[in-house]
Chain A
Amino acid sequence: MAESISRSLRDGCLEGEHAPALTIEDSLASSLGSSVFDHFLAHLVSQIAAGKSQARGLVLVAFNRSPAFYLELLRRKGVDAQHVDKRVRILDCYSDPLGWKKRVPPLKTAQNLPVKANVACFSDARDTNKLMASILDLGKGTSYSELDATSCNVLNLVYLLTEFVGQDKSRFAVAIDLVSSLLRYTSLPTVAGLLNKLRSNDQTSCIVWLIHSDLHEQRVSAALAYVSTMVASIQPIAQCTDEQTSQQNSVWLGKNSDKAKLHVRLKRRNGRVKLLAEELHLDQVGVKFTAVGAQNSNVAKSLLPKVQFNLQLSEQERVERAKVVLPYEHQGNGEEIQIYDGRRSLSDSISISQPSVASPVISDTQVAPGIGEIHYVRDSDDEQPDSDEDPDDDLDI
């Protein structure tokens, strides 16, 4: 199911449709949204790097975590640094969202970190029009960089030239790491407008964003769900009630800290809504998705009461049982099965039967003394076999 999300992000949008959009929402009860976001982001970038996706590049709008974190994350996920430099552009809204750093004197002693060419600082988070323009500018940059431009100047030149020609139809993906931060700076209609504009832009291939749903009113989640085609909502695996003591609370916290349920709502073009659920758990490498029942069946097995007898057969017992020949089955001594079905006439049965089989019309003298036999002679061949007759047809019941 997580694969189907990745697939639709990879395949991008169809001609004449809006770009597919994925909302990832979590809450404090199960705050694994960032990890899930990282998973889909890394997967998408690796697909872009391999040239398998519709998007030729990705613009990451970083509100929640620093660009350095994302570069490190992609490096750890095994995406080639060269591809990251070429295909990924990061709009840094984390370091200076309100432009304070421009207004205060900079640190003289700051270690000058190497400025990455693919990171652009954005310092006016309240202006969504400017944000939109920056995202589109960066997105265009990713599409053209595939022309193996080695130096930045050449890149700019190619960029300008292609922009003049304006024939390139390649698309790019957009990832916004926390819409909740954006909502802090502006209002919901503005944010929804920005997302809608991004979706309907003919250069966008797909959009992914994360939201902490408990930081906003219910209507915010609903509004964002309407502008997205897929909603992945992360729910706690163990629910905590108010009555539980804090001691149990810590157990509950421990349970939910690395496991969660992922509920996915997919909207088809015809309006059909598909609901899916999966479990996710975190390890040292990242997020792993498993089917919901996978772990439950093990639990169910262990929950069976411990009894002295087996309710189930082992594999060996099953094989042995298959070998057993039941009494009514032919014992396999090479002879044909002789079961009288009551239909064949006496003469038939004689003609079919082997000579060794004793005929019913045998004189008393031939029979060994002391062995009782029942002789039955049919009245005629016209008589219907007994089995078909209703023995009570003469009674008026």
Chain B
Amino acid sequence: MNPSFSSPTTNLLDEALGIGRTGSVPWRIALVQDCVEASGAFLLHHLLKRSLSAEAAGAVVFLGLAQPFSHYDRVLRKMGCNLSLQRNKNKLHFIDLLDLEFLVAGGTDQNAIEDGFMNLYNRILRFIEANNLMHNNGGWIRIIIDDISLLEIAAQGSSSHTFDFLQYCATLTSELDCSLLILNHGDIYSSEEDQRLLSHLDYLSDVVIKAETLSTGIAVDVHGQLTIINKRALGELGWSSSKVYNFQFKLKENAVEFFYPGTKF
């Protein structure tokens, strides 16, 4: 693949998300909502890579519940990013599913679940503290959660506790130079009651990225489409207007190609 050709197409996503050269982002909380037919995991990989690039001056807390570390390591290595190295350099803090104490305890006691989430929050805080001490300025912190439904399962299905934890992560974003990226599945909630966690997340987030299959059916050259909704935010120059982007993607062996509908031949 010709790299000079692929670079502007990749920028379509960066442009929509407002990712700067140093990997900084203008939003605080972003929600990726995917479905079985069109997985949104590649978006997390892409953003993880951008956050850990050489120009980026920050660190990442990655709650990798969906896959083991070795999986992410392999995927990112193909994309040209060495996760093990970043982990050793303390730029990446990886939290495994097995690390969640309240899951190991296996209790259904409500207080135990709340304490478990509080400990998880404490772990994130301690990493931020260590990062700030190590690098004088510290830069920004990005918290990535893959994915929220597994966190809910770990919490014995208590979406209320899960949301409390997210609320505390959200307060970090307004107090510190921090952003939160959450992956959730849009098609796993059947009843209206369950849908509310998804709606809660939607209200909470500044950017919503929806990964869907093509409405016209399966195609060889197009693997799905993204709808990115940038909500209105209070910035330096008053309120920014909200923007909606819509484009399609094609997953390749070690990269993703983004293009507007109808522009790929």
Query: Which of B167, B199, B215, B245 has the most chain A CB atoms closer than 10 A to its own CB?
Result: B167
Evaluate contact between A249 and B125: CB separation under 8 angstroms. Answer: no
Min Cβ gap A98→B in Å is 6
Q: Which stretch of A41-49, A153-161, A277-285, A289-297 is in the interface?
A: A277-285
Closest to A98 in B: B164
B176 at the interface (CB under 8 A from A): yes
Whether A257 contacts B242 in the complex (CB less than 8 A), given A107-B125, A284-B237, comes out as yes
Whether A110 contacts B227 in the complex (CB less than 8 A), given A95-B171, A212-B199, comes out as no
B81 at the interface (CB under 8 A from A): no
Whether A110 contacts B176 in the complex (CB less than 8 A), given A66-B171, A250-B246, comes out as yes
Evaluate contact between A282 and B118: CB separation under 8 angstroms. Answer: no
B residues near A250, Cβ cutoff 8 Å: 227, 244-246
A104 at the interface (CB under 8 A from B): yes
Whether A257 contacts B261 in the complex (CB less than 8 A), given A95-B171, A108-B129, A246-B215, comes out as no
Q: Which stretch of A68-76, A169-177, A376-384 is in the interface?
A: A68-76
Evaluate contact between A96 and B164: CB separation under 8 angstroms. Answer: no
Evaluate contact between A246 and B225: CB separation under 8 angstroms. Answer: yes
Whether A282 contacts B232 in the complex (CB less than 8 A), given A109-B138, A110-B175, A246-B227, comes out as yes
A97 to B114, CA, bound (A): 13
- Residue from A109, A184, A214, A282 within 8 A of B199 (CB atoms): A214
- Residue from B121, B129, B215 within 8 A of A245 (CB atoms): B215
A residues near B121, Cβ cutoff 8 Å: 100, 104
B122 at the interface (CB under 8 A from A): yes
- Residue from A76, A94, A184, A246 within 8 A of B246 (CB atoms): A246
B residues near A66, Cβ cutoff 8 Å: 171, 174-175
- Residue from A104, A216, A249 within 8 A of B227 (CB atoms): A249
Chain A 265-290 interface mask (CB, 8 Å, partner B; 1/0): 00000000000000000111110000
Query: Which of A100, A284, A285 has the most chain B CB atoms closer than 10 A to its own CB?
Result: A100
Whether A282 contacts B239 in the complex (CB less than 8 A), given A215-B199, A246-B227, A249-B227, comes out as yes
Min Cβ gap B141→A in Å is 11
Closest to A26 in B: B203
Query: Which of B122, B138, B160, B232 has the most chain A CB atoms closer than 10 A to its own CB?
Result: B232
A residues near B225, Cβ cutoff 8 Å: 246
- Residue from A96, A104, A105, A258 within 8 A of B171 (CB atoms): A96
Evaluate contact between B203 and A212: CB separation under 8 angstroms. Answer: yes
A253 to B210, CA, bound (A): 13
Closest to B168 in A: A100
A164 to B243, CA, bound (A): 55
A103 to B232, CA, bound (A): 35
Evaluate contact between A257 and B244: CB separation under 8 angstroms. Answer: yes
A31 at the interface (CB under 8 A from B): yes
Closest to A255 in B: B244
- Residue from A31, A103, A107, A284 within 8 A of B239 (CB atoms): A284
Evaluate contact between A104 and B118: CB separation under 8 angstroms. Answer: yes
Evaluate contact between A31 and B203: CB separation under 8 angstroms. Answer: yes
Chain A 108-133 interface mask (CB, 8 Å, partner B; 1/0): 11100100000000000000000000
A28 at the interface (CB under 8 A from B): yes
A267 to B23, CA, bound (A): 52
Q: Interface size class for chain B?
A: 35 or more
A residues near B203, Cβ cutoff 8 Å: 28, 31, 212, 215
Evaluate contact between B133 and A109: CB separation under 8 angstroms. Answer: yes
Evaluate contact between B125 and A258: CB separation under 8 angstroms. Answer: no
A193 at the interface (CB under 8 A from B): no
A247 at the interface (CB under 8 A from B): yes
Evaluate contact between B160 and A257: CB separation under 8 angstroms. Answer: no
A162 at the interface (CB under 8 A from B): no
B residues near A72, Cβ cutoff 8 Å: 234
A residues near B129, Cβ cutoff 8 Å: 107-109
Evaluate contact between B238 and A76: CB separation under 8 angstroms. Answer: yes
Evaluate contact between A247 and B200: CB separation under 8 angstroms. Answer: no
- Residue from A95, A107, A215, A284 within 8 A of B196 (CB atoms): A215
Min Cβ gap A71→B in Å is 12
B151 at the interface (CB under 8 A from A): no
Closest to A245 in B: B215
B53 at the interface (CB under 8 A from A): no
A359 at the interface (CB under 8 A from B): no
B241 at the interface (CB under 8 A from A): yes
For window 153-172 of B, CB contacts with A under 8 Å fall at 160, 163-164, 167-168, 171
Evaluate contact between B241 and A69: CB separation under 8 angstroms. Answer: no
Evaluate contact between A257 and B171: CB separation under 8 angstroms. Answer: no
Closest to A254 in B: B244
B132 at the interface (CB under 8 A from A): yes
Evaluate contact between B238 and A258: CB separation under 8 angstroms. Answer: no
A residues near B176, Cβ cutoff 8 Å: 107, 110
**Interface set of A (CB-CB < 8 Å, partner B):** 28, 31, 35, 65-66, 68-69, 72-73, 76, 94-98, 100, 103-105, 107-110, 113, 184, 212, 214-216, 245-247, 249-250, 253-254, 257-258, 282-286
5 A-B pairs whose Cβ atoms sit less than 8 Å apart in the complex? A107-B128, A184-B160, A215-B203, A245-B215, A246-B212
